[in-house]
Amino acid sequence: MRIDIITVLPELLKSPFEASILKRSIEKGLVEVHFHNLRDYTDKSYNQIDDYQFGGGAGMVMMIEPIDKCITKLKSQRDYNEIIYMTPDGNTLNQKMANSLSLAENIIILCGHYKGVDQRVRDTLITKEVSIGDYVLSGGELGAAVLCDTIIRLIPGVLNNETSALTDTFQDDLLAPPVYTRPADYKGLKVPEVLLNGNFPKIEKWREEQAYKRTKQLRPDLLEND
């Protein structure tokens, strides 16, 4: 998979890709991530990428021209499955969306800033609008990092134990069951007996029950989708 991220703040975005799972997935060649500084696509003085909004009102708006230039150049080099705009008024990211995007070959992610982008960008260049939740961030960069993390960990070969992504919380609309490690007894706090006796069908059944119980208790809304 190839991900092209268009941003005015590449330095804000780079560090999540330089550690742990994301770093390893890039080193293994399972994903390529390219950053494009929008200021490299403007002819205006001071590398201007935003301007006042027509009709008046507080806040600057990102101009269409540099965004169009950048996206048009990328599209001339390869086909893209999705051109995503990160914005608080987009569709809220969930596991289903991450699963589906993890199958893409090439995607572009445009990070919004200020009051957002000129509406004509959204109308003509963008194929999908994504938010990471009902709160406002200073820009789309952190949202893009979250989106990339959710997608990249699902690419086959990224996680060491491939089945582990399948048993993640949300993968089957259930929260994950509780997990324990040594010691089996810590100051009288005991690990459930069933996990210690090696009866794997019984352990599996216990985990399913716990997942259901936890979901019912903490996120009953997830069970209503059935």
* Residues at the contact surface with ligand 6GU, assessed by CB under 6 A: 86-88, 112, 131-133, 135-137, 139-140, 143
Rounded to the nearest whole angstrom, what is the least distance from the CB of residue 135 to ligand 6GU in the complex?
A: 5
Our CB check for ligand 6GU shows the closer of 7 and 25 to be 7
Contacts of residue 171, Cβ cutoff 8 Å, sequence gap at least 6: 95, 165
Our CB check for ligand 6GU shows the closer of 109 and 159 to be 109
Q: How many Cβ atoms sit within 10 Å of the Cβ of residue 117?
A: 23
Are residues 222 and 174 in contact, defined by beta-carbon separation less than 8 angstroms?
yes
Please identify the residue of the shown chain whose CB is closest to the bound ligand 6GU. 143
Task: Measure CA 185 to chain center.
Answer: 38
Our CB check for ligand 6GU shows the closer of 142 and 203 to be 142
Rounded to the nearest whole angstrom, what is the least distance from the CB of residue 87 to ligand 6GU in the complex?
A: 5
Rounded to the nearest whole angstrom, what is the least distance from the CB of residue 128 to ligand 6GU in the complex?
A: 12
- Beta bridge mates, 185: 190
3-state secondary structure of 215: helix
Our CB check for ligand 6GU shows the closer of 139 and 178 to be 139
The tokens for 49 are 């990428």
Rounded to the nearest whole angstrom, what is the least distance from the CB of residue 130 to ligand 6GU in the complex?
A: 6
Our CB check for ligand 6GU shows the closer of 42 and 87 to be 87
Are residues 1 and 98 in contact, defined by beta-carbon separation less than 8 angstroms?
no
Are residues 165 and 126 in contact, defined by beta-carbon separation less than 8 angstroms?
no
Rounded to the nearest whole angstrom, what is the least distance from the CB of residue 134 to ligand 6GU in the complex?
A: 7
- Beta bridge mates, 36: 6
